[in-house]
Structure 1
């Protein structure tokens, strides 16, 4: 590798098709049961590992309606799936989504610590606050938390999980048969936490992994979301449409990290993108256009428009009347997205039909073209300070194979991307430091004093 900054690459595995790709399941390359077929996931993860990707990423949400994307309707639970991938791969990172709004800190800490040990230090947690209002009913709650509560709970949740991961110091288990000493009790530390959202008393019953703690990932474009990312995120998922927007977002996240007393170099921005590789730029754009036609479905798009608003039924309104006044609808759901839709309709004076058509219209990705074009654009975004890497949405195995076989070698030749893994852990491959156990740090400080 050269001394230039290295590109990080992740593969987002969405089986039969997530939001915006409802037609993916119709492609003959995609098995109809891909989202629940562990063999399919193993094949994709191994392909990403052969290409020396940093990680695979499993998105998740729990509430569904009949109008949810095919992948959402029938998919495997992330950590169960990732545990299977851990024993089928050797080096690639394994990132899964769990909600701070509906999962308890002890359970999250134990499950991710288990995945981290099973994988030899390759686990990452994508922290989400759950935007679907209907999720509350699945967990016996009368009402979804409001926006501010969700983010306040998220910060306390992550901080508490990180404390639980430090329950054992690295040398807590001598396992000395001659002396009959399995545990050094002075290296075991119980958590005693009483906070606004959680009460936890007692230690976690699993040791730290070779990477110390799983890597924390986070996504959120609102002010609260960005501030949470600046406070706890080591990898930041986002969607930005240009180098300028990407640079502004990355600069903002790094500034927020500094404000939280963190090293900005430990915050990696890796937006999710769609890539299409063709023989020529024109060929790639034709493939992209065909994908757009596969996903075109006005009625489904109308139904999907309701998701940011708590799955509000827009079909009850006249399509050619002005976009309806919704008041605070969406404030307890995907508020940032809902507010953006309201603002779009208001500022441009759009009808409901026009809003649906505008939002669902195929978007031209910047990352479409020949292998040479795609490699050049990746490098421009990296050198322009817009990103630290990309999460590539895998639609079909053949398109991913073209990226791996044609684009990756160009990135390797120019020194932008690795030829071999640098480490056995996710942290090591991402260039992130191992967080030292807080109790070991405190003991050393006390001895020095």
Structure 2
């Protein structure tokens, strides 16, 4: 029996306009796309036409005058994803929710509701939050230290998963003749008392067709990789070059195995921003236009966000960055470290670094065939499972997807109606059902 050929998977940003510094000014974008439902609908339906696995909503609950337009006025994830669930049928719907400044019961209930509403298509981008002002928006003086945030996150995600098992799959009988609505022997309280949280349960939402929402994580620090290896179904990675991608995958999968999981229980999705044209020269020109459409002031704002809005404008633009000390250590730690390392290794000036961060180029610039070649090349090394398409969605769906289909590495139709099924992940048997089965086997 021959083994089915491994298929590549895709996700995209489900935003109303490109989320770069100047995304709202793009010729084909509505200036108010961040709060315009039809813009989100177009993105989600385009991605679904391209048979993408999911669209996810990036989010932040803290802004300043230096925030990029993408964050200044926009829908919170639950509202827009609930609306999109009605106008789509297969694509997964992933929302960003923090573990640092919210209650696990509330997050569990929100996501379980979206999961049931959408027929098993919900996902959770679990973030620890990395902007200092978030604390002040949630009755805290400051952000928790980096290590503390990840201790909280580990406990938080365990609680949420526990609450998602409050009801076994067949607990809701709903028998009108007998009058039995639920089998309460299959309802379970969590009774959690831990370092940061005390949660009784049970959750008042039943399980969906996929059992529970998919958990994504994006941490690239040591603590972040450890959290993903233990708790996540998928990770968003910043590494799309073969060397860094391989190193990251080896570390993540090694830790997953150490936690008793299989290496590919955690799917890896680097983000790329493909720029597609009829020739390589034309694609390079399109990228140059993209750079020229972003002012250095806007680029510095993008860069500063990863360092808790540190004022980079105080430094000379055309000189290398000075030593920054601990700046960024409690913010987007792994991303900040990556950018500083990039600047040092490539001897980039502040101007070059800011523009690189604001308008990432990567190697995915060229004709549709050239982009497909790059996508296939990294995928077939086995170090990644798919990509997040960060821009150029329409061109990618129309031009690259057919090439990947013809090469036999991409689907022609959805395999499932659930996000879990399309990602090829195993169904999570309810812990109490599993325990009952084990007891039955032992007593047999």
Deviations 1:119-151 (A, max 9, x none): 000001011111101100111111210000001
CA distance, structure 2, for counterparts of residue 152 and residue 146 of structure 1: 10
Match of 1:360 among 342, 355, 358: 355
Q: What is the match of residue 11 of structure 1?
A: 12
CA distance, structure 2, for counterparts of residue 23 and residue 429 of structure 1: 33
Deviations 1:318-363 (A, max 9, x none): 667884554433332222334455566778888xxx2343342354
**What is the deviation of 1:74?**
1.1
Counterparts in 2 of 1:53 and 1:17: CA distance versus 1, 3 Å: closer
> Is the contact made by 2:34 and 2:73 (CA closer than 8 Å) also made in structure 1?
yes
CA distance, structure 2, for counterparts of residue 345 and residue 65 of structure 1: 26
Q: Verify: 1:310 aligned to 2:305, yes or no.
A: no
CA distance, structure 2, for counterparts of residue 114 and residue 306 of structure 1: 36
CA distance, structure 1, for counterparts of residue 135 and residue 382 of structure 2: 39
Counterparts in 2 of 1:232 and 1:68: CA distance versus 1, 3 Å: same
Q: What is the match of residue 390 of structure 1?
A: 387
> Is the contact made by 2:277 and 2:368 (CA closer than 8 Å) also made in structure 1?
yes
**What is the deviation of 1:164?**
0.1
Corresponding residue SS for 2:191: strand
Counterparts in 2 of 1:59 and 1:281: CA distance versus 1, 3 Å: same
Q: Verify: 1:415 aligned to 2:415, yes or no.
A: no
CA distance, structure 2, for counterparts of residue 304 and residue 400 of structure 1: 22
CA distance, structure 2, for counterparts of residue 243 and residue 328 of structure 1: 29
Matches within 5 A, 1:39-118: 39-118=38-117
CA RMSD of aligned residues (A): 2.1
**What is the deviation of 1:16?**
3.8
**What is the deviation of 1:15?**
3.1
Counterparts in 2 of 1:112 and 1:304: CA distance versus 1, 3 Å: same
Counterparts in 2 of 1:314 and 1:405: CA distance versus 1, 3 Å: closer
Matches within 5 A, 1:221-232: 221-232=220-231
Counterparts in 2 of 1:50 and 1:305: CA distance versus 1, 3 Å: closer
CA distance, structure 1, for counterparts of residue 279 and residue 303 of structure 2: 35
> Is the contact made by 1:136 and 1:143 (CA closer than 8 Å) also made in structure 2?
yes
Give me the TM-score of the superposition, normalised by structure 2. 0.93
Structure 2 unaligned blocks of 5 or more: none
CA distance, structure 1, for counterparts of residue 3 and residue 394 of structure 2: 26
Q: What is the match of residue 294 of structure 1?
A: 293
After superposing the two structures, state which structure 1 stretch, 23-32 or 167-176, moved more.
23-32
After superposing the two structures, state which structure 1 stretch, 325-334 or 283-292, moved more.
325-334
> Is the contact made by 1:17 and 1:70 (CA closer than 8 Å) also made in structure 2?
no
Structure 1 unaligned blocks of 5 or more: none
Aligned residues: 439
Deviations 1:52-72 (A, max 9, x none): 111111111111111111111
> Is the contact made by 1:98 and 1:125 (CA closer than 8 Å) also made in structure 2?
yes
Q: What is the match of residue 185 of structure 1?
A: 184
Deviations 1:174-210 (A, max 9, x none): 1112211111110000110011111101200010000
Give me the TM-score of the superposition, normalised by structure 1. 0.92
